[in-house]
Structure 1
Amino acid sequence: MSSCLASLDIHPLRNELYNELHSRPFQVLPTPARVSQIAVLTTPEQRQAQFHHLQELHRLLGHPVPEKEVSCFEHTFGTLRVRREMHMEFASYTFINLAASDQAPFLETGISPLPEGWLEALTGTVIAAFHLDVGPAAEGTRDDLDYVRKHFEGMRLVGSSPQEGAARVWGTFRLHSDGFGRFMVLNHHMSDSQLGRLTQRLMEIETYRLMSLLALPVARDITPSLNDMDEQLAVITRSLAENEAVDEETLLARLTHIAARIEAFRAQSTFRFSATRAYHRLVLTRLEELREDELSGHLTLTEFMTRRLTPAVKTCEAVSERLEDLSRRVDRASDMMRTRVELAIQSQNQQVLSSMDRRSKIQLMMQHTVEGFSVVAITYYLIGLLKLGLDSLQGTGLEFNKTLVLGIAIPVVMALVYLGVRVVHHRFIRMAKHQ
């Protein structure tokens, strides 16, 4: 079979496409375990520095240093498992402490085994940081609640029973006194692989919901400017609709300024709003995969997200749609202004053409008048020449009545001159029509 494939043209990305679906495998997580995740916003320049920082962790813990960076890296250092995943905008670090411990939840966490000072030197901007404590469940829900409440600093709990009661999940979606968020997973009868998938979904829900909210401050900052531009555009459109006498040049300048501001806001926010929609869809997908059952008296994770996260995302979508709507309205107002200016220009051109037509008629009348004078003038000069010729003939002794000849010649010459001028005039007219 391999020899048959060797003779075929294999796509260069074939192996990568196969491996892509396996690049981020689910965790296999035993009970008990303490998990910490930190997600940091990362620039392309910081990614290389983060990889060098990961190599430094291997040196500090006495393990072979990885040579090549991959999108999902995982390594176990004894009882500490470290996983680093690279995403489009951020990098997530998951630390799993598998050592046996008799400490209360969240006193010892996933980052407790890290070398001192290593985590503090991590580059990037922290967007999410939270602990998950995974332990066995008590016999009854009331026993669970009594155990859970004292570890969340008195904050209001959000909880559910996912996977048809196979576990219970508790959290607050708030920051605690250590600066981290907290989740507690109480395992009833989940296998290690099921528990790994559950914790992975919880971590993704928390990280993606924070990433989706990054657009909310942008939307709030843009909204006052959108209100101002909306009012300006309404005034401009009203003046056009009421056919008021306006300064088109000033209005076009104002419309251009509004359009420039809208494009600047779109350039600033389009990616952020699109990312928010994508992250929100991921959150909803992960929530569906939990298959939650309600715990009496508490909001489920899905209910909490639907009530709190979805309105924030809808706000961002509304601002994005409003930007697009304003852009279209500015385009329509600009089209109306251009049409109005073009009509004004056409009216001016029509007036200019009418003026030119009047001047052409006057010039034609003047030309006819000049033609009449020119016929008289040419006749006068021709008769003068004829008189000189007749004087010369009389000087040779030829006898004739010069006065009679001149009297007869005047109307004849004038008629001939007139006919000649008209012939030339009509020839020029034919040339103009032909062109």
Structure 2
Amino acid sequence: MSASSLQLEMHPLRESLYEEMHSRPFQVIPSPARITHLSVMCSEQQKAQQFIHLQQLCEMLGGAVPKEDLPCFQQQFGQLQVRWEKHMEFVSYTFIWLGGDHGDPFAESGISHLPDGWLEGICGEVVAAFHMSVENVCDSAEPTIPEVKTYFDTMRLVGSQPSQGAAQVWTSYRLHDDGYGRFLIYNREMSDSQLGRLIQRLLEIESYRLMTLMGLPMARSIGPQLQLMDQQLAELTQILSVEEYDDEKCRDERELLGRLIHLASRVEAYRARSTFRFNATNAYQDLVMQRLADLREDEVSGHLTLHEFITRRMIPAVRTCKATAERLEDLSRRIDRVSDMLRTQVELSIQGQNQELLSSMDRRSRIQLMMQHTVEGLSVAAISYYTIGLVKIFIGVLYDQGLHINKSLSLGISMPLVIVTVALLTRRIHSKFSKLAADSVDSKDK
């Protein structure tokens, strides 16, 4: 049975996974060429608007208009090549012009032949913008270093010989009067495919380098605030560590807890703002270092290579971002520990207050019990008094009806009987209610 006749259930992502490996192909770029590259930070809504703007460019240039919003689009319009790529945070445009006079490396650029007004309609914020001039020196002599320096407005040059000397790359890593950076590439013996891979790596290095450094301003702005919050946390910890207080320095745990919650909320706000940016910084750095390793540079005598120049400033910037992120995490953990201690102390304080309240209630209960016993004694006397009064009236009625009894003797005999009877009834009622209260307490405990 042939492989094509196998009836197997395919994963719904199988084809897209295959296509992902071919979604961003290397370009084939002949030399000479003029290239302009833009990296524009934008939201998802702006990315959709940029795709519509790209469709308008294709219509203006008379080419096929893309219907589907793909991660990467590239098309040839005569001597102009256009490449559009979507990334997580930004969109990149690469314009390659292959025609015209190539005498002055930067007399014209990849955007020189775009329709008027189209470039200004791109929405978003430009992070990377630079021109790249590719010259063919396979059959001619290369310009001298002083001559190359004139193309960069006599700025200090950074250069190397990538691919083991198959080409030479020059740049200043500075912005020129037109607001763009500049790269000058001399092709010595590279094929068009090799040159396309080299240029793609250089474009990615410059874009990712700038995206890596995006986290540095945030780290610098957060640093002083972290120092201030660290001092505030140290003060709160010092207050908690003091064992004895006088009346003037007595602390309010609720006030301390409120200050600590405010401090924790500020730290979490900074973490929410910076976590993605710092993680992106680490990811972009890894990409830059990988692309630099792929260049396989040889040194040009007296000049820093691209790898040396970039790592000299980029690695400290990345470490600053990493240190700031670690300080935020450490401060958050310390605030959690202090919060736990303060909550424990508040709970102990509440337990102490509850214990005092229970003791006070117990004392009041004993006093009330003593008062109750006193009232019970008085109530026995009062009830007995009124009862004896009723007995006296009853004896008088019997006497008036003709019953010959000694009223004084009868009243004297009834007095102790009434008092004993009232006392026994009062005690029995008290015992009954005490038993009901005890049964109620036992049922609650169960």
Q: Same fold (TM over 0.5)?
A: yes
**Kept in 1: contact 2:110–2:131 (CA 8 A):** yes
**Segment of structure 1 superposing worse, 18-27 or 313-322:** 313-322
The structure 2 residue matched to 1:375, chosen from 361, 370, 380, is 380
Deviations 1:191-241 (A, max 9, x none): 322221111111101001111212222222222222222222221221111
**Kept in 1: contact 2:32–2:102 (CA 8 A):** no
Q: Which residue of 1 aligns with 2:443?
A: none
The structure 2 residue matched to 1:341, chosen from 346, 349, 359, is 346
Q: Which amino acid aligns with 1:217?
A: P
Q: Is 1:408 the equivalent of 2:413?
A: yes
Q: Which residue of 1 aligns with 2:205?
A: 205
Q: Which residue of 1 aligns with 2:359?
A: 354
Q: Is 1:286 the equivalent of 2:278?
A: no
Aligned length: 433
**Kept in 2: contact 1:137–1:144 (CA 8 A):** no
* In 1: Cα distance, 2:291 partner to 2:86 partner: 19
Deviations 1:263-294 (A, max 9, x none): 33233322222222221221112112223233
Q: Which amino acid aligns with 1:69?
A: D
Segments of structure 1 that go 5 or more residues without pairing to the other structure are: none
* In 2: Cα distance, 1:287 partner to 1:44 partner: 30
Cα shift at 1:49: 3.2
Cα shift at 1:43: 2.7
* In 1: Cα distance, 2:43 partner to 2:402 partner: 120
* In 1: Cα distance, 2:138 partner to 2:303 partner: 18
* In 2: Cα distance, 1:122 partner to 1:171 partner: 26
* In 1: Cα distance, 2:64 partner to 2:391 partner: 126
Cα shift at 1:126: 1.4
Q: Is 1:253 the equivalent of 2:271?
A: no
SS state at 1:113 partner: coil
Deviations 1:290-339 (A, max 9, x none): 23233332222222222101111221222222222223333333333333
SS state at 1:23 partner: coil
Q: Is 1:423 the equivalent of 2:428?
A: yes
* In 2: Cα distance, 1:160 partner to 1:138 partner: 17
Cα shift at 1:90: 1.3
Cα shift at 1:370: 1.0
SS state at 2:123 partner: coil
Cα shift at 1:73: 0.6
The structure 2 residue matched to 1:398, chosen from 389, 395, 403, is 403
Q: Which residue of 1 aligns with 2:444?
A: none
* In 2: Cα distance, 1:102 partner to 1:42 partner: 34
Cα shift at 1:71: 1.6
* In 2: Cα distance, 1:303 partner to 1:426 partner: 96
Q: Which residue of 1 aligns with 2:327?
A: 322
* In 2: Cα distance, 1:61 partner to 1:205 partner: 30
**Kept in 2: contact 1:34–1:132 (CA 8 A):** yes
**Segment of structure 1 superposing worse, 193-202 or 222-231:** 222-231
- Map 1:18-417 onto structure 2 (within 5 A): 18-99=18-99, 101-137=101-137, 145=145, 148-243=148-243, 244=245, 245-417=250-422
* In 2: Cα distance, 1:51 partner to 1:339 partner: 58
Q: Which amino acid aligns with 1:415?
A: V
Cα shift at 1:146: 5.1
Q: Which amino acid aligns with 2:379?
A: S
* In 1: Cα distance, 2:297 partner to 2:127 partner: 26
**Kept in 2: contact 1:41–1:89 (CA 8 A):** yes
Deviations 1:363-402 (A, max 9, x none): 1001111111122222222222323333333334333444
Segments of structure 2 that go 5 or more residues without pairing to the other structure are: 441-446
* In 1: Cα distance, 2:144 partner to 2:283 partner: 35
**Segment of structure 1 superposing worse, 307-316 or 146-155:** 146-155
* In 2: Cα distance, 1:57 partner to 1:144 partner: 39
Change (3 A) 1:428 1:195: same
